[in-house]
Chain A
Amino acid sequence: MNLTRLALWWVDRYTRGGSEPARVARREEIASDVWEHRAVAGAGPRVEFAVLSRCVRGIPADISWRRSRHRGRRLPSLRTAVRVAGWSLAFLAYLFLVGAHGYSATAVVGFDFYGADWEPGDVIWYARVSAMLLALLLAGGILIRRWPRIAVAMLVAATLGTCGAFWWATPIYAPLGLAVVAAAVALARRRAQIVSSAAS
Protein backbone atom coordinates (compact mmCIF):
# COMPACT_ATOMS: atom_id res chain seq x y z
CA MET A 1 0.00 0.00 0.00
CA ASN A 2 1.43 3.35 -0.95
CA LEU A 3 -1.02 6.04 0.06
CA THR A 4 1.74 8.64 -0.03
CA ARG A 5 1.50 8.52 -3.82
CA LEU A 6 -2.00 9.90 -3.46
CA ALA A 7 -0.59 12.90 -1.59
CA LEU A 8 1.88 13.56 -4.42
CA TRP A 9 -0.83 13.02 -7.01
CA TRP A 10 -2.92 15.67 -5.25
CA VAL A 11 0.02 18.12 -5.35
CA ASP A 12 0.22 17.53 -9.10
CA ARG A 13 -3.47 18.24 -9.46
CA TYR A 14 -3.79 21.46 -7.52
CA THR A 15 -0.57 22.99 -8.81
CA ARG A 16 -1.57 22.34 -12.42
CA GLY A 17 -1.95 25.39 -14.63
CA GLY A 18 0.21 27.60 -12.40
CA SER A 19 3.74 28.82 -12.96
CA GLU A 20 6.23 26.01 -13.46
CA PRO A 21 8.75 27.13 -10.76
CA ALA A 22 6.00 27.38 -8.10
CA ARG A 23 4.66 23.99 -9.16
CA VAL A 24 8.05 22.29 -9.04
CA ALA A 25 8.94 23.93 -5.71
CA ARG A 26 5.68 22.86 -4.07
CA ARG A 27 6.00 19.32 -5.39
CA GLU A 28 9.62 18.96 -4.28
CA GLU A 29 8.82 20.38 -0.87
CA ILE A 30 5.95 17.97 -0.24
CA ALA A 31 7.99 15.04 -1.64
CA SER A 32 10.79 15.92 0.80
CA ASP A 33 8.31 16.22 3.69
CA VAL A 34 6.75 12.85 2.88
CA TRP A 35 10.21 11.26 2.63
CA GLU A 36 11.27 12.70 6.00
CA HIS A 37 7.98 11.58 7.56
CA ARG A 38 8.51 8.00 6.42
CA ALA A 39 12.18 8.08 7.38
CA VAL A 40 11.38 9.22 10.94
CA ALA A 41 8.21 7.23 11.57
CA GLY A 42 9.15 4.12 9.57
CA ALA A 43 7.21 2.35 6.87
CA GLY A 44 3.81 0.83 7.48
CA PRO A 45 0.09 1.46 7.14
CA ARG A 46 -0.03 3.84 10.12
CA VAL A 47 2.50 6.17 8.55
CA GLU A 48 0.80 5.93 5.16
CA PHE A 49 -2.51 6.92 6.73
CA ALA A 50 -0.82 9.72 8.70
CA VAL A 51 0.61 11.14 5.46
CA LEU A 52 -2.75 10.79 3.72
CA SER A 53 -4.49 12.46 6.66
CA ARG A 54 -2.07 15.43 6.48
CA CYS A 55 -2.79 15.68 2.78
CA VAL A 56 -6.59 15.52 3.16
CA ARG A 57 -6.69 17.97 6.10
CA GLY A 58 -4.68 20.42 4.03
CA ILE A 59 -6.97 20.40 0.99
CA PRO A 60 -8.86 23.63 1.92
CA ALA A 61 -5.51 25.43 2.35
CA ASP A 62 -4.25 23.95 -0.94
CA ILE A 63 -7.32 25.24 -2.76
CA SER A 64 -6.93 28.66 -1.17
CA TRP A 65 -3.22 28.67 -2.16
CA ARG A 66 -4.18 27.78 -5.71
CA ARG A 67 -6.75 30.58 -5.83
CA SER A 68 -4.22 33.10 -4.56
CA ARG A 69 -1.72 31.97 -7.22
CA HIS A 70 -4.33 32.26 -9.96
CA ARG A 71 -5.83 35.57 -8.84
CA GLY A 72 -6.77 37.49 -11.97
CA ARG A 73 -6.79 34.37 -14.13
CA ARG A 74 -9.86 32.43 -15.06
CA LEU A 75 -10.33 29.26 -13.02
CA PRO A 76 -12.53 26.37 -14.05
CA SER A 77 -15.92 27.13 -12.52
CA LEU A 78 -18.87 24.96 -11.68
CA ARG A 79 -20.46 26.15 -14.94
CA THR A 80 -17.45 24.87 -16.87
CA ALA A 81 -17.64 21.55 -15.05
CA VAL A 82 -21.33 21.19 -15.89
CA ARG A 83 -20.60 22.12 -19.51
CA VAL A 84 -17.79 19.55 -19.77
CA ALA A 85 -20.02 16.90 -18.19
CA GLY A 86 -22.79 17.70 -20.69
CA TRP A 87 -20.45 17.49 -23.63
CA SER A 88 -18.97 14.25 -22.34
CA LEU A 89 -22.46 12.79 -22.15
CA ALA A 90 -23.16 13.90 -25.72
CA PHE A 91 -19.91 12.25 -26.81
CA LEU A 92 -20.77 8.99 -25.07
CA ALA A 93 -24.29 9.05 -26.52
CA TYR A 94 -22.81 9.59 -29.96
CA LEU A 95 -20.41 6.69 -29.52
CA PHE A 96 -23.21 4.49 -28.26
CA LEU A 97 -25.54 5.28 -31.17
CA VAL A 98 -22.92 4.73 -33.85
CA GLY A 99 -21.77 1.55 -32.10
CA ALA A 100 -25.37 0.33 -31.81
CA HIS A 101 -25.90 0.91 -35.53
CA GLY A 102 -22.79 -1.03 -36.41
CA TYR A 103 -23.73 -3.94 -34.19
CA SER A 104 -27.32 -4.09 -35.29
CA ALA A 105 -26.23 -4.06 -38.94
CA THR A 106 -24.02 -7.11 -38.42
CA ALA A 107 -26.70 -8.75 -36.27
CA VAL A 108 -24.02 -9.58 -33.71
CA VAL A 109 -26.42 -8.77 -30.91
CA GLY A 110 -29.08 -11.01 -32.33
CA PHE A 111 -31.54 -8.51 -33.77
CA ASP A 112 -31.86 -6.95 -37.15
CA PHE A 113 -33.50 -3.54 -37.59
CA TYR A 114 -33.53 -3.65 -41.30
CA GLY A 115 -34.63 -7.14 -42.27
CA ALA A 116 -35.63 -7.46 -45.89
CA ASP A 117 -34.62 -3.88 -46.75
CA TRP A 118 -30.97 -4.94 -47.06
CA GLU A 119 -29.36 -5.38 -50.45
CA PRO A 120 -26.67 -8.06 -50.71
CA GLY A 121 -23.38 -6.62 -49.39
CA ASP A 122 -25.11 -3.80 -47.50
CA VAL A 123 -24.42 -5.41 -44.14
CA ILE A 124 -20.67 -5.54 -44.71
CA TRP A 125 -20.55 -1.99 -46.07
CA TYR A 126 -22.63 -0.72 -43.18
CA ALA A 127 -20.54 -2.51 -40.57
CA ARG A 128 -17.30 -1.21 -42.09
CA VAL A 129 -18.50 2.38 -42.20
CA SER A 130 -19.78 2.14 -38.62
CA ALA A 131 -16.47 0.70 -37.42
CA MET A 132 -14.52 3.44 -39.22
CA LEU A 133 -16.71 6.19 -37.75
CA LEU A 134 -16.42 4.66 -34.30
CA ALA A 135 -12.64 4.50 -34.63
CA LEU A 136 -12.53 8.16 -35.75
CA LEU A 137 -14.72 9.25 -32.86
CA LEU A 138 -12.75 7.25 -30.31
CA ALA A 139 -9.39 8.44 -31.62
CA GLY A 140 -10.63 12.05 -31.62
CA GLY A 141 -11.78 11.70 -28.01
CA ILE A 142 -8.51 10.12 -26.93
CA LEU A 143 -6.22 12.53 -28.79
CA ILE A 144 -8.00 15.74 -27.80
CA ARG A 145 -5.58 16.49 -24.95
CA ARG A 146 -2.38 15.77 -26.83
CA TRP A 147 -3.08 16.86 -30.42
CA PRO A 148 -6.22 18.98 -30.21
CA ARG A 149 -6.23 20.15 -33.84
CA ILE A 150 -5.91 16.64 -35.27
CA ALA A 151 -8.57 15.44 -32.83
CA VAL A 152 -10.98 18.20 -33.84
CA ALA A 153 -10.43 17.32 -37.50
CA MET A 154 -11.18 13.65 -36.73
CA LEU A 155 -14.37 14.53 -34.86
CA VAL A 156 -15.54 16.81 -37.68
CA ALA A 157 -14.86 14.04 -40.21
CA ALA A 158 -16.71 11.53 -38.02
CA THR A 159 -19.70 13.85 -37.68
CA LEU A 160 -19.91 14.51 -41.42
CA GLY A 161 -19.44 10.81 -42.13
CA THR A 162 -22.16 9.83 -39.68
CA CYS A 163 -24.63 12.32 -41.12
CA GLY A 164 -23.79 11.09 -44.63
CA ALA A 165 -23.95 7.37 -43.91
CA PHE A 166 -26.99 7.52 -41.66
CA TRP A 167 -28.72 10.38 -43.48
CA TRP A 168 -32.15 9.31 -42.27
CA ALA A 169 -30.95 9.83 -38.67
CA THR A 170 -29.38 13.25 -39.30
CA PRO A 171 -31.79 15.06 -36.91
CA ILE A 172 -30.23 12.97 -34.11
CA TYR A 173 -26.63 12.81 -35.27
CA ALA A 174 -26.17 16.39 -36.44
CA PRO A 175 -26.88 18.11 -33.06
CA LEU A 176 -24.90 15.43 -31.21
CA GLY A 177 -21.99 15.80 -33.59
CA LEU A 178 -22.07 19.59 -33.34
CA ALA A 179 -22.06 19.40 -29.53
CA VAL A 180 -19.10 17.01 -29.57
CA VAL A 181 -17.14 19.17 -32.04
CA ALA A 182 -17.94 22.32 -30.02
CA ALA A 183 -16.71 20.55 -26.89
CA ALA A 184 -13.51 19.53 -28.63
CA VAL A 185 -12.86 23.08 -29.87
CA ALA A 186 -13.54 24.54 -26.41
CA LEU A 187 -11.22 21.99 -24.79
CA ALA A 188 -8.49 22.69 -27.34
CA ARG A 189 -8.79 26.46 -26.74
CA ARG A 190 -8.77 26.03 -22.96
CA ARG A 191 -5.69 23.85 -23.18
CA ALA A 192 -3.91 26.41 -25.38
CA GLN A 193 -4.76 29.10 -22.80
CA ILE A 194 -3.36 27.01 -19.93
CA VAL A 195 -0.18 26.24 -21.88
CA SER A 196 0.36 29.91 -22.81
CA SER A 197 -0.34 31.17 -19.26
CA ALA A 198 2.04 28.56 -17.79
CA ALA A 199 4.73 29.59 -20.30
CA SER A 200 4.35 33.28 -19.39
Chain B
Amino acid sequence: MRRKPGSLVPLELAILELAAARAGDPFHGFELAKALADADGSRALTAHGTLYKALGRLAEQGLLEDEWEDPDVALGEGRPRRRLYRITGAGARRVVEEHRREPVPSPKAALA
Protein backbone atom coordinates (compact mmCIF):
# COMPACT_ATOMS: atom_id res chain seq x y z
CA MET B 1 0.00 0.00 0.00
CA ARG B 2 1.35 3.43 -0.97
CA ARG B 3 1.69 5.87 1.91
CA LYS B 4 0.29 9.39 1.87
CA PRO B 5 2.86 12.02 0.90
CA GLY B 6 4.28 13.71 3.98
CA SER B 7 2.92 11.10 6.40
CA LEU B 8 5.24 9.52 8.96
CA VAL B 9 5.63 5.83 9.64
CA PRO B 10 6.06 4.77 13.30
CA LEU B 11 9.84 4.47 12.93
CA GLU B 12 10.14 8.01 11.56
CA LEU B 13 8.00 9.36 14.40
CA ALA B 14 10.13 7.46 16.93
CA ILE B 15 13.28 8.95 15.39
CA LEU B 16 11.83 12.46 15.58
CA GLU B 17 10.79 11.92 19.21
CA LEU B 18 14.26 10.76 20.17
CA ALA B 19 15.81 13.63 18.24
CA ALA B 20 13.49 16.11 19.98
CA ALA B 21 14.42 14.63 23.37
CA ARG B 22 18.09 15.40 22.64
CA ALA B 23 17.24 19.09 22.48
CA GLY B 24 19.27 19.87 19.39
CA ASP B 25 22.28 17.69 20.20
CA PRO B 26 23.46 15.94 17.03
CA PHE B 27 23.40 12.14 16.80
CA HIS B 28 24.66 9.58 14.34
CA GLY B 29 22.99 6.52 12.84
CA PHE B 30 24.36 3.82 15.11
CA GLU B 31 23.70 5.93 18.21
CA LEU B 32 20.11 6.30 17.06
CA ALA B 33 19.72 2.56 16.33
CA LYS B 34 20.93 1.80 19.84
CA ALA B 35 18.63 4.39 21.42
CA LEU B 36 15.65 3.00 19.48
CA ALA B 37 16.45 -0.55 20.63
CA ASP B 38 16.87 0.61 24.25
CA ALA B 39 13.56 2.49 24.10
CA ASP B 40 11.81 -0.65 22.80
CA GLY B 41 13.62 -3.01 25.15
CA SER B 42 14.71 -4.90 22.03
CA ARG B 43 18.09 -6.55 21.51
CA ALA B 44 18.02 -6.32 17.74
CA LEU B 45 19.04 -2.99 16.25
CA THR B 46 17.10 -1.43 13.39
CA ALA B 47 18.31 -2.72 10.02
CA HIS B 48 20.71 -0.50 8.09
CA GLY B 49 18.44 -0.07 5.08
CA THR B 50 15.35 0.72 7.18
CA LEU B 51 17.17 3.18 9.42
CA TYR B 52 19.02 5.16 6.76
CA LYS B 53 16.07 5.26 4.42
CA ALA B 54 13.95 6.72 7.25
CA LEU B 55 16.68 9.25 8.11
CA GLY B 56 16.95 10.22 4.45
CA ARG B 57 13.21 10.76 4.16
CA LEU B 58 13.11 12.90 7.31
CA ALA B 59 16.00 14.99 6.00
CA GLU B 60 14.29 15.38 2.60
CA GLN B 61 11.14 16.60 4.34
CA GLY B 62 13.19 19.15 6.27
CA LEU B 63 12.39 17.57 9.64
CA LEU B 64 16.01 16.67 10.29
CA GLU B 65 19.19 18.37 9.13
CA ASP B 66 22.40 16.51 8.57
CA GLU B 67 26.07 17.34 8.23
CA TRP B 68 29.23 15.33 7.96
CA GLU B 69 31.57 15.47 10.91
CA ASP B 70 34.90 17.28 10.55
CA PRO B 71 37.25 14.62 9.07
CA ASP B 72 40.06 15.76 11.40
CA VAL B 73 37.98 14.90 14.46
CA ALA B 74 37.29 11.42 13.12
CA LEU B 75 40.93 10.98 12.13
CA GLY B 76 42.04 12.06 15.60
CA GLU B 77 39.85 9.39 17.15
CA GLY B 78 40.88 6.78 14.58
CA ARG B 79 37.43 6.02 13.20
CA PRO B 80 35.36 6.76 10.07
CA ARG B 81 33.65 10.15 10.08
CA ARG B 82 30.05 10.26 11.18
CA ARG B 83 27.04 11.77 9.51
CA LEU B 84 25.37 13.80 12.22
CA TYR B 85 21.65 14.53 12.36
CA ARG B 86 19.82 17.19 14.32
CA ILE B 87 16.10 17.99 14.59
CA THR B 88 14.94 21.16 12.86
CA GLY B 89 12.25 23.60 14.03
CA ALA B 90 9.83 21.99 11.57
CA GLY B 91 10.72 18.58 12.99
CA ALA B 92 10.05 19.70 16.56
CA ARG B 93 6.70 21.21 15.53
CA ARG B 94 5.79 18.00 13.73
CA VAL B 95 6.38 15.95 16.89
CA VAL B 96 4.04 18.25 18.84
CA GLU B 97 1.41 18.02 16.07
CA GLU B 98 1.61 14.23 15.97
CA HIS B 99 1.12 14.07 19.75
CA ARG B 100 -1.86 16.40 19.56
CA ARG B 101 -3.65 14.16 17.09
CA GLU B 102 -6.14 11.81 18.66
CA PRO B 103 -5.34 8.18 17.94
CA VAL B 104 -8.00 6.73 15.64
CA PRO B 105 -9.58 3.72 17.38
CA SER B 106 -9.40 0.50 15.42
CA PRO B 107 -12.72 -1.20 14.51
CA LYS B 108 -11.84 -4.02 16.93
CA ALA B 109 -11.31 -1.58 19.80
CA ALA B 110 -14.58 0.20 18.98
CA LEU B 111 -16.50 -3.08 19.26
CA ALA B 112 -14.84 -4.10 22.51
Contacts and interface: CB of A to CB of B under 8 A. Distances in A.
Interface stretch (A61-69, A87-95, A125-133): A61-69
B51 to A, nearest CB: 7
B28 A58 contact: no
A39 B34 CA distance: 13
Contacts of A40: 30, 34
Contacts of B29: 29, 32-33
A35 interface: yes
A35 B29 CA distance: 11
For B45, B47, B49, B81, which residue has the most chain A Cβ atoms within 10 angstroms? B49
A31 interface: yes
A122 interface: no
B79 A58 contact: no
A13 to B, nearest CB: 12
B79 A54 contact: no
Contacts of A58: 47-53
A28 B45 contact: no
A29 B47 contact: no
Contacts of A53: 44, 47
13 contacts: A7-B48, A25-B83, A28-B83, A32-B80, A33-B28, A36-B79, A50-B44, A54-B48, A56-B47, A58-B52, A61-B47, A61-B49, A65-B52
Interface of A: 7, 25-26, 28-33, 35-37, 39-40, 50, 53-62, 64-65
